[in-house]
Structure 1
């Protein structure tokens, strides 16, 4: 168990690594796996896993997840500046601030879910369903693009399939029994619908 005080160091360091390595992943890993670098679901899962694995208290876990995602944004753009000479202003312009705002929201939701998922209680199984649900929700968005001339059909199908497989694997990973895993996957279905609506509202279509 990592102490709550460690969050002061662990959360920002995790953010630096998430942002920088995410850009490196996009830059050098081919599709469809490279597409995961552009996935908001992957960042949400990172916030979940940070809170889940560190075993911080609920307030610290939520705050740590928020800090991780907010710090990750400018370091993503900083990596882009260093690797491909992008404009450094991308790290603090309006678009970056928007992503930081979304990071706050995702950190609050998935940081809390990560803490709750490792505690006994009625909400535990629903929290365990969250990583899979957000992956499935983004997969729905990808698959709905099939046939749209603005997108490559094969690429969207492959990316959607990768997200679905990862969603199932994450649920199997965090569950402690096959019954719990099966129930979490079942709960993930309505959560997927909710996640799809929320992602669509924020402009991910």
Structure 2
């Protein structure tokens, strides 16, 4: 049953608050290597995907809800940092926070729509199913790049965790073995595109 617009709006706002605040709590108190799942762009992207998937039909509604989720999550994260470890409340309106909210809009649209596509048919279903895996595979690649440093070999655990989560999400979201195989194949080049996007943004 498709949830109504009021419920979708409520879930987006409350979910964003919980995502941001609990994400900081996770980072603060969960031991390594699982703590890194909190400090993860992939985790937030998959949360946006989940909202789009749950919202069902209506890609505009899913995109808006997922974008709201991520935008609300940013100040919620900063507020949790202020309350738990005494960070300056001014971080809420620093340029870095505003940038993350802007990126949250972009990621929310892409992954929110991806969530609805994963319930669709044809090539849209394959691409939608591939997106959560792609974002975890891309993050695994960035961890692998850093783990090549002999002083940071522990990051290979994060490479393994992210790769495993990517495959698991395809298994859970895909409906048939063929869809899962195609989604995994599509996820690899999509991960490369995301990786290059991060490289350009960082450069």
Q: Shorter-chain-normalised TM-score: which range?
A: over 0.9
Q: Which of the two has greater helix per residue?
A: 2
The match for 2:153 is: 153
Q: How does 1:51-200 map to 2 (within 5 A)?
A: 51-148=52-149, 152-154=152-154, 156-200=155-199
Q: How many residues align?
A: 202
State the distance in 1 between where 2:35 and 2:57 align.
31
List gaps (5 residues or longer) in structure 1. Answer: none
Q: How far 1:23 moved relative to its partner?
A: 0.3
**Aligned equivalents of 1:121 and 1:147: distance in 2?**
39
Instruction: Tell me the distance in 1 between the aligned counterparts of 2:74 and 2:199.
Output: 21
Could you list the structure 1 runs, at least 4 aligned residues long, displaced by more than 2 angstroms after superposition.
146-149
- 1:43-58 correspondence to structure 2 within 5 Å: 43-58=44-59
CA displacement at 1:122 relative to structure 2:
2.5
Question: Is the CA contact 1:117–1:127 (under 8 Å) kept in the aligned structure 2?
Answer: yes
How far is 1:108 from its partner? 1.1
| Partner Cα separation in structure 1 for residue 117 and residue 139 of structure 2 | 23
Q: Is the 8 A contact 1:50 1:65 kept in 2?
A: yes
1:8 — aligned with what? 9
Asked if 2 retains the 8 angstrom alpha-carbon contact of 1:3 and 1:56, the reply is no
- What is the Cα deviation at residue 147 of structure 1? 3.0
Q: Which SS does the other structure have where 1:38 is aligned?
A: coil
Q: Which runs of 5+ in 2 are unaligned?
A: none
Shift of 1:56: 4.6
Q: CA deviation at 1:146?
A: 2.2
- Matched residue, 1:201: 200
